[in-house]
Amino acid sequence: MIVTVTPNPSIDRTVTVPAELVRGAVHRVQSVTTEPGGKGVNVARALTLAGLDTVAILPAARHDPIVTALLSCGVSFHVVPIDGAVRTNLAITEPDGTTTKINEPGAVIDEITLAALTQSILDRAGAARWVVLSGSLPPGVPNTWYADMVAQLRSYDCKVAVDTSDAPLAALSAGFATAAPDLIKPNSEELAGLVGVEAQALEHALFQGNPDPVVDAARQLIDRGAKTVLATLGAAGAVLVNDTGSWLATPPPIKPRSTVGAGDSSLAGYVRADVGGAQAPQCLQMAVAYGSAAAALPGSALPSPAEIDLDDVAVTSLSPYPA
């Protein structure tokens, strides 16, 4: 079983406009999609489409619209009851795939609810192969919560992945030496923020065929205690670094339609490959195949296995990790 945790779930509403978004102008909407979302929910949706035994844990009122939406998607889930409503996040996509996101803060989580959420995770961790902790933290949850969860999950026989940003990611990084997850999945901005470089410099270098700055940044995290770093840089590709080596995956050319859920799909692809017994390069290949397929889909749609073509993703072995 794979457990995904989304402490700040959302209803993701994606509107597509037929031309470039102009601030202050009136735009006619071309299409609208609404899906259950939040990063962990997206991972669960993608893994469910792949036929993997997955359960999504999230806080929500029992009759919240996200519950109905998850039922319609066929995703198994466990709800930790709250009084507030799950937030609605708005994404606006342009014809070239440029996506503008407007995210609400989410419902406040009190100490009792947070304790129940934590216990729900621990109750299922014993039977899990992976626990995936994803997304922002809602009001009321301390920035150290992901780091605390990783520490508590160390005594369980499961792998742990974390995909988050800003203060929660910084708090997680500060604890790598004592309690590091098995996998972190930063994008260019998140990776750059952790090591004090410019995100654009990382992306530009990778676009120019030079993965060294990305690898060097990821290795700094490995040196701090991180186990595996999956750095996703959109159309530029992705780099995987662990204590044995590093690899670069180059995505196929696609016509981007929406980036909503692309990073979550990459994480789902990695986990899917890992539970199937794949080695690190093949996990990276599956991750990039999933992310590229998601970016080619409209709204917050997620790819099924039929839409994944591993042969379109080139993987290059870079230098081994220095002794």
Structure tokens at 133: 């902790």
Structure tokens at 181: 């997850």
Which residue reads 């406009």 in tokens? 17
Catalytic-labelled residue, pool 163, 264, 311, 312: 264
273 vs 309: CA distance, rounded Å: 13
**Beta carbons within 8 Å of 163's beta carbon, 6+ residues apart:** 39, 132, 133, 134, 135, 184, 185, 263, 264, 267
Structure tokens at 294: 């998601």
Structure tokens at 312: 């379109």
CA 301 to chain centre: 14
What is the Rg, in whole angstroms, of the alpha carbon atoms belonging to the chain?
19
264 is catalytic: yes
Query: Catalytic amino acids?
Result: 264
